[in-house]
């Protein structure tokens, strides 16, 4: 592989300074051609995945499809189709090139997609409608799906707009999305806007008009340092009194907003169309953004059967979702069958310590560093538990408990999209945004997403195809049974 070539240096600059994804991709492809990475892609063999297994699976799929044997295709896919078969999702397979991966892996994903399409269109004299429906339901459930999790990060959270904008434009936005604190605002935008509406809602001008004064100093001696009414009015303007169920019916996206209890002996809650269909999104987002001391905690609200606005979980108030559930991956997995995560991470407590890819420890040093980090985390939690046990003051116990939750959480996913580590990011956290700062944040979010788009497409293509055809079959079944309006 070529290392020293003046053309590569120029292309590195072109990649770093690209003004669009098309220009970025073109420079990456040319870089891989000149550097010799394309030769690496064309060579099936690698110690980082089981290329023999993937070769065999591709051959079997091609033979079955060539024979028009849909039953054989179903059998092959049933045998063990999953997102990391033979370790094909290993992040190390991306380290040898600027874009793409082994051609064999891309061929395998394409063959699986063609097999899925073939099964859907198979002659129903041989595979009837209900056999197809059963196959797609079982396979989609077993294969799982991806989710997008948007972390907290106060004003820096508008970085998420660029991430979502890029995913939306390339039609790679997952249908399962969670948001905590600032991330809950963007998650709610995703859940209440169609594809076209979202293009406009994520523009710097639209965000600026909604949030230019969202932090108005209220002063000491109040229930919060900032005036919560200003933030709440901005959220009402965006989401009105729409419930999670109403949002799902409009966009078919599963959005979740996380909130933390403002008192002891309560757990964080995930508010969505499954767990709290009648809860009002505006109040859920307002609660999730209620950073302690900065904004006051909130009582949630919901619509009753008559459409009236009523308290939800009376006598309880909720606050910043990122304190206890910044990235609620395990609970999303239980609710929606998620087994792969894309994280847009802007939490200032986490960003300095994580990288864009989760790569298993390889060297002795990496293994030692990871082990020391895990020990430090577990020892810190043990020390905090001791302090909490010895503390009698209720307010102090609550504060200690929140600190424990912050340390205990996992702040990374399978794919991590992060803002650049720079001191000026700190200026975004508690300041009111300007049009210029929002434009910079959103553009940086888009740019940070470009290097992950091809990975996200590979990792989601099979699950999206399975769920698309499953949806088509369910829609057809509803029409035939007369269940549509």
CATH code, 445: 3.40.1090.10
Q: Check if the beta carbon of residue 360 is closer than 8 Å to that of residue 87.
A: no
Q: What's the pLDDT score for residue 362?
A: 56
Q: Is residue 68 part of a domain?
A: yes
Q: Check if the beta carbon of residue 102 is closer than 8 Å to that of residue 47.
A: no
Q: What's the pLDDT score for residue 177?
A: 97
- The residue ranking higher by pLDDT, 103 or 199, is 103
Residue 273's contacts (CB-CB under 8 Å, 6 or more residues apart) are 244, 245, 247, 248, 254, 255
Statement: residue 403 has pLDDT above 70: no
Same domain, 203 and 327: yes
Same domain, 125 and 185: no
Same domain, 418 and 389: no
**Cβ count near 102 (within 10 Å):** 23
Same domain, 445 and 297: yes
* Lowest mean pLDDT across 80-94, 257-271, 278-292: 257-271
State the catalytic residue, choosing from 35, 46, 181, 201: 181
Same domain, 124 and 162: no
* Lowest mean pLDDT across 163-177, 315-329, 355-369: 355-369
Q: Is residue 49 part of a domain?
A: yes
Cα 368 to the chain's mean position, in Å? 29
* Lowest mean pLDDT across 114-128, 319-333, 403-417: 403-417
Mean pLDDT of the chain: 86
CA torsion, points 40, 45, 47, 50, in degrees to nearest 10?
A: 130
Beta partners for 284? none
Q: Is residue 27 part of a domain?
A: yes
Domain boundary among the residues 407, 429, 444 is at 407
State the catalytic residue, choosing from 320, 322, 405, 463: 320
Q: Is residue 400 part of a domain?
A: yes
Same domain, 423 and 471: no
**Local confidence band at 387 (pLDDT 50, 70, 90 cut-offs):** confident
Beta-strand pair 415-417/309-312:
unpaired
Same domain, 416 and 403: no
Using DSSP, state whether 19 is helix, strand or coil.
coil
Same domain, 399 and 416: no
Q: Check if the beta carbon of residue 113 is closer than 8 Å to that of residue 57.
A: no
Mean pLDDT of 273-290: 94
In terms of Cβ atoms closer than 10 Å to its own Cβ (0-12, 13-18, 19+), residue 121 is exposed
Q: Check if the beta carbon of residue 156 is closer than 8 Å to that of residue 419.
A: yes
Q: Please state whether the predicted TM-score (pTM) of the whole model is above 0.85.
A: yes
- The residue ranking higher by pLDDT, 325 or 59, is 59
Contacts 24+ apart (CB under 8 A), 387-396: 394/264
Same domain, 32 and 119: yes
**Local confidence band at 167 (pLDDT 50, 70, 90 cut-offs):** very high
In terms of Cβ atoms closer than 10 Å to its own Cβ (0-12, 13-18, 19+), residue 280 is buried
Mean pLDDT of 404-426: 77
Q: Is residue 1 part of a domain?
A: no
Q: What's the pLDDT score for residue 286?
A: 93
Mean pLDDT of 361-376: 64
What is the span of the domain harbouring residue 70? Answer: 6-144+460-481
Q: Is residue 207 part of a domain?
A: yes
If one counts the domains in the chain, the total is 3
Kindly state the helix (H) or strand (E) to which residue 154 belongs, with its residue range: none
* Lowest mean pLDDT across 39-48, 59-68, 476-485: 476-485
Q: Is residue 61 part of a domain?
A: yes
Same domain, 332 and 189: yes
Q: Is residue 72 part of a domain?
A: yes
Does residue 341 have an active-site annotation? no
Same domain, 339 and 421: yes
Beta-strand pair 338-344/145-150:
parallel
Residue 82's contacts (CB-CB under 8 Å, 6 or more residues apart) are 142, 143, 144
Q: Of all residues in the chain, what percent carry a pLDDT higher than 70?
A: 84
Same domain, 269 and 344: yes
Beta partners for 415? 342, 357
* Lowest mean pLDDT across 167-176, 310-319, 451-460: 310-319
Does residue 181 have an active-site annotation? yes
Mean pLDDT of 348-357: 64
Question: What tokens does 152 get?
Answer: 């907290």
């Amino acid at each position: 592989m070529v290392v020293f070539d003046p053309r590569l240096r120029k292309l590195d600059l072109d990649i770093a300074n690209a003004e669009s994804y098309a220009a970025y991709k073109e420079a990456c492809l040319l870089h891989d051609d000149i550097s010799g990475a394309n030769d690496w892609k064309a060579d099936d063999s690698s110690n980082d995945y089981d290329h023999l297994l993937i070769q065999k699976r591709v051959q079997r799929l091609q033979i079955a499809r060539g024979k028009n044997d849909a039953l054989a295709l179903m059998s092959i896919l049933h045998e063990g189709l999953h997102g990391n078969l033979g370790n094909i999702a290993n992040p190390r397979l991306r380290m040898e090139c600027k874009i793409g991966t082994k051609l064999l892996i891309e061929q395998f994903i394409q063959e699986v997609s063609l097999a899925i399409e073939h099964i859907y269109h198979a002659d129903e004299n041989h595979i009837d409608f209900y056999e197809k429906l059963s196959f797609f339901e079982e396979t989609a459930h077993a294969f799982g799906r991806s989710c997008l999790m948007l972390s907290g990060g106060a004003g820096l959270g508008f970085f998420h707009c660029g991430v979502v904008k890029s995913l939306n434009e390339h039609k790679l936005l997952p249908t399962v999305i969670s948001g905590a604190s600032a991330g809950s605002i963007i998650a709610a935008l995703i859940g209440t806007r169609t594809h076209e509406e979202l293009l406009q809602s994520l523009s710097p001008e639209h965000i600026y008009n909604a949030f230019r004064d969202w932090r108005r100093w209220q002063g000491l001696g109040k229930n919060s340092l900032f005036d919560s009414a200003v933030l709440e009015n901005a959220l009402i303007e965006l989401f009105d009194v729409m419930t999670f169920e109403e949002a799902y019916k409009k966009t078919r996206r599963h959005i979740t907003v996380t909130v933390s209890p403002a008192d002891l002996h309560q757990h964080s809650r995930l508010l969505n169309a499954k767990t709290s269909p009648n809860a009002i999104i505006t109040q859920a987002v307002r609660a999730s953004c209620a950073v302690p001391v900065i904004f006051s905690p909130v009582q949630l609200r919901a619509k009753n059967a008559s459409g009236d606005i009523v308290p939800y979980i009376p006598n309880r108030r909720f606050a910043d979702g990122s304190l206890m559930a910044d990235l609620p991956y395990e609970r999303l997995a239980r609710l929606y069958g998620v087994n792969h995560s894309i994280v847009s991470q802007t939490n200032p407590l986490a960003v300095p310590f994580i990288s864009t890819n989760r790569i298993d420890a390889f060297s002795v040093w990496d293994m030692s560093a990871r082990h020391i980090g895990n020990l430090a985390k577990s020892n810190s939690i043990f020390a905090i538990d001791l302090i909490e046990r010895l503390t009698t003051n209720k307010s102090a116990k609550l504060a200690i408990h929140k600190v424990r939750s912050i340390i205990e959480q996992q702040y990374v996913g399978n794919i991590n999209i992060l803002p650049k580590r720079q001191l000026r990011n700190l200026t975004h956290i508690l300041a009111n945004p300007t049009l210029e700062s929002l434009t910079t944040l959103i553009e940086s979010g888009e740019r940070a997403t470009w290097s992950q788009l091809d990975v996200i497409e590979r990792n989601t293509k099979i699950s999206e195809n399975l769920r698309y055809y499953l949806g088509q079959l369910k829609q057809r079944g509803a029409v035939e049974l007369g269940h549509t309006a």
